[in-house]
Amino acid sequence: MPSVVGLLEQHELAARRRVDGLREEADRIQAELAAAEQEWQEWAIARRRVDVVLAPDGGNTADTTTPDLRDTDAQSAPRDAAKPKSQVPVWREGLAWSVLSVDYQRLLTVLADRSRLGQGPLTCQEMAAAFGMEVVPARVETLRSKAKRLVARGWLAEQQPGRFTLAAGVAEPGGES
């Protein structure tokens, strides 16, 4: 009759082998994911460069904006839109949405649509799904960071933790309230 300690050691060894195998598989998948993301970014950069060259202004890069790499079908932003990574201005009466980068405008647009339809606030997971993004922690946290920044600057309201709506007075893309 085998000992209890011997049986436990056998189960522990089997579990450790399984963990080691899964770690190897995860490492392989992570490496494959990194290579696929690199290729995707290169294609997105190539498309943006072609867009710049074929632009009606003859490829003048002084006023172009850089679209979000996750949104390869993004339309070009208005010429007066802020560049990505720029500061979000504090909202005030009559301030147009075009002062925000395209990503921030997308957040406002989806919340404005919900407001027009009489629907309640959105969570960041729901926003990610609405944008067609994969609902994974990295994407959700990026949206949460942007939404919190818009709350701090008066563009959005967070009446319940993690649930965002347009702030009072922020109504339409043109800045009308």
Residue 71, pLDDT score? 46
Average pLDDT of the chain, as a whole number? 80
- The model's pLDDT over 89-124, given as tens digits with 9 standing for 90+, comes to 888 888 888 888 888 888 999 998 888 888 889 999
10-residue mean pLDDT profile of the chain (177 residues): values are: 89 94 90 88 88 73 46 40 61 84 88 86 90 88 91 90 88 53
Residue 88, pLDDT score? 84
Q: Which residues contact 86 (CB under 8 A, 6 or more apart)?
A: 101
Residue 73, pLDDT score? 42
At residue 5, what is the residue type? Answer: V
Contact 100, 154 (CB under 8 A): no
